[in-house]
Amino acid sequence: MANYRINPRERRTTPKDYVIQRGDTLTKLAARFGTTVDKLARDNNIANRDLIFTGASLKVGYSGKDTFEPSGSRQGFRPGGRRPTGGGEDVGGPTGAGPSNASTGMRRLAESARRAAMGMGGYNSQGLCATGVSRAIRNAYGIGVSGNGNQIDNNLPRDKFRQVNMSLEEALKIPGLVLTWEKTSTRLGSIYGHTAITMGDGHTTASDFIERNTTNNGRSGFKVFMPIN
């Protein structure tokens, strides 16, 4: 069967194949086409529902009462028209940029962050998280970003990074995301916050040191930023 790019404004009554676009997730597509993640996964023999690939063909409407009617809510907004907490884009779960198909820039940023951390504190914090993250961004993208841990989010250039709404658990699975916290439980962290870059292995981040078990414990004001390219 030939692939078709589906216009979300069109209602189709017969099954078609949808070409997966960058940033798509099963959660987003299920909401868009009025179906469920379970049906999409079953119809397409998807074992890992958090991992789909840009350019692959996805069968929609092949079983049950699936339709091509888009959901009523606008992409990037929660029902009711409100933006997600923190003003970021609601990506509805893990994005298409997973460990296996993250962009080259995201992988480059993750590797740059690892090198910066190993060149600074290794596996021991030096209290210079923003310095490590800024160094990684400069080495990966050639741009300077100033500010401490709870300021760097406001200084990330919006033509290079976009805020996304996802949990820490989801973010840690994707390499090259910039994480920020407004406050942590330490004395300096309560003033300056914390920032780090994900390694994509589900638990590790890097800043001025490698944090092998990154959690939200004792931290608040969590935000996630994804490189656009």
How far is Cα of residue 86 from the mean position of the Cα atoms in its chain?
14
For domain 1-72, give the fold: Membrane-bound Lytic Murein Transglycosylase D; Chain A (3.10.350)
| Residue 26, H or E segment | helix 26-33
| Range(s) within the chain of domains with CATH label 3.10.350.10 | 1-72
- Is residue 140 classed exposed, middle or buried when 0-12, 13-18 and 19+ CB atoms within 10 A define those classes? buried
Which residue matches tokens 């490189």?
227
| Range(s) within the chain of domains with CATH label 3.90.1720.10 | 104-227
Give 40-85 pLDDT, tens digit per residue: 888 877 877 777 877 788 888 754 443 333 333 333 333 333 333 3
Torsion of CA 159, 161, 163, 166, to 10 degrees: 150
- What global pTM score does this model have? 0.59
CATH homologous superfamily of 104-227 equals endopeptidase domain like (from Nostoc punctiforme) (3.90.1720.10)
Q: By the 8 A CB rule, do 99 and 180 touch?
A: no
What gap in Å lies between CA 147 and CA 144, rounded to an integer?
Answer: 10
- Is residue 104 classed exposed, middle or buried when 0-12, 13-18 and 19+ CB atoms within 10 A define those classes? exposed
Q: What residue type is assigned to position 31 of the chain?
A: A
Give 139-193 pLDDT, tens digit per residue: 999 998 988 888 898 899 988 999 988 889 989 999 999 999 999 998 888 999 9
pLDDT at 62: 54
pLDDT at 72: 35
